[in-house]
Amino acid sequence: MGLQKEIDVARKDIRTDSYSVSIGEWMSMYEKNEIDIHPEFQRIYRWSDTQKSRLIESIFLGIPIPPIFVAQRADGVWDVVDGLQRLSTIYHFSGMLKDENKEPIEPLILEKTKYLPSLDGCKWEDNKNPSHSLNATQRLLIKRAKIDVSIILRESGEDTKYELFQRLNTGGSLLEDQEVRNAILVMENKKFYEWLRMLSKNKDFVECSAISDRNIEEQYDMELALRFLVFHRMPNDKLKTLGDIGDFLTESAINIT
């Protein structure tokens, strides 16, 4: 086809937009269910309170926050592709964050930071102990701060958001392949993700696989279950020509759903 034609064809498959959104607007979208941060991801990613406190410190200091990447669904809701922890931290601190069962999560209490040690023990709002609360001016400072958003418009190709998610969360990342794959599965088909997770916890499977606690933390038990589903009926001659196993597993998982 030639390089330029390949570039032209691929670019036509991706439609994007970008602009700045105030944190107050991010909070309003969450309240109105206009954004989906996939609370199931909390099993896969989890920032420490220290990391969360540093983000709030950065907002106060005016340090630019990396953009949030979202994909626009057919119903107009934004699916968060990258930026889960940044948004979750804001929602957690403001007392808005809910778990996957829609139950409220206890609001975040900040730790002291390098430049703002007085953040130690600070809450968004504490009516019982106002000295531990942000004041109205400080809350407005956060709400008026802006975080850029890059939007994959719904006119884009069906696989675009998964491709972007994979690229943003692999190279140079501390995440394991299955952790990224699980997040893609949650976005694509939550029921399949839950079924695969249930298979990986099967007593007989656990005894046969005999993997370490660290492997389980890295979701390797789910990768083994997925490998079984993908490979158990595949002819040997095809197995020899697969290429990168990680990419093949991801594509197969999406196709299965």
Query: Both 149 and 173 in a single domain?
Result: no
Which residues constitute the domain of residue 179?
169-256
Same domain? 71 vs 195: no
**Predicted pLDDT at 64:** 92
Q: Are residues 63 and 117 in the same domain?
A: yes
Confidence of residue 172 (pLDDT cuts 50, 70, 90): very low
More confident residue, 21 or 126: 21
Query: What is the per-residue pLDDT for 13?
Result: 64
Shared domain for 16 and 120, answered yes or no, is yes
Burial profile 178-187: b = 16 or more Cβ within 10 angstroms, e = fewer: bbbbbbbbbb
Taking each helix axis as running N to C, give the angle between helix 177-188 and helix 160-168, from 0 to 180 degrees, rounded to the nearest 10. Answer: 150
Check pLDDT > 90 for residue 93: yes
pLDDT higher at 23 or 126: 23
Among 181, 208, 217, which Cα is nearest to 196's? 181
**What DSSP state is assigned to residue 78?**
E
Please indicate, yes or no, whether residues 212 and 248 belong to a single structural domain of this protein. yes
Using left for φ > 0, alpha for ψ between -120 and 50, and beta otherwise, residue 237 falls in: alpha
29-33, 35-39, 181-185, 249-253 — which one is most confidently predicted on average?
29-33
Together in a domain, 139 and 194 = no
In a domain, 164, yes or no: no
Please state, rounded to an integer, the average pLDDT across all residues of the chain: 82
User: Which range among 24-28, 212-216, 237-241, 243-247 has the greatest average pLDDT?
Assistant: 24-28
Contact 175, 193 (CB under 8 A): no
Predicted local confidence at residue 229, as pLDDT: 86
Task: Give per-residue pLDDT as tens, 183-219.
Answer: 777 767 778 888 888 888 888 888 888 888 878 777 7
Together in a domain, 180 and 128: no
Tell me the two tokens of residue 116: 């703002």
What would the mean pLDDT of 166-179 be, rounded to a whole number?
59
pLDDT at 83 over 80: yes
List Cβ neighbours of 196 (8 Å cut-off, separation of 6 or more): 185, 222, 225, 226, 229
Residue 163 forms part of a structural domain: no
In this structure, the answer to whether residues 175 and 58 fall within a common structural domain is no
* Rounded CA separation 30/244 (Å): 38
Which pLDDT tens digit goes with each residue over 39-82?
Answer: 565 555 578 899 999 999 999 999 999 899 888 888 889 988 77
Q: How many domains does the chain have?
A: 2
* pLDDT beyond 70 at 98: yes
DSSP secondary structure letter of residue 76: S
Verdict on whether the full-model pTM lies above 0.85: no
Question: What is the pLDDT at residue 90?
Answer: 96
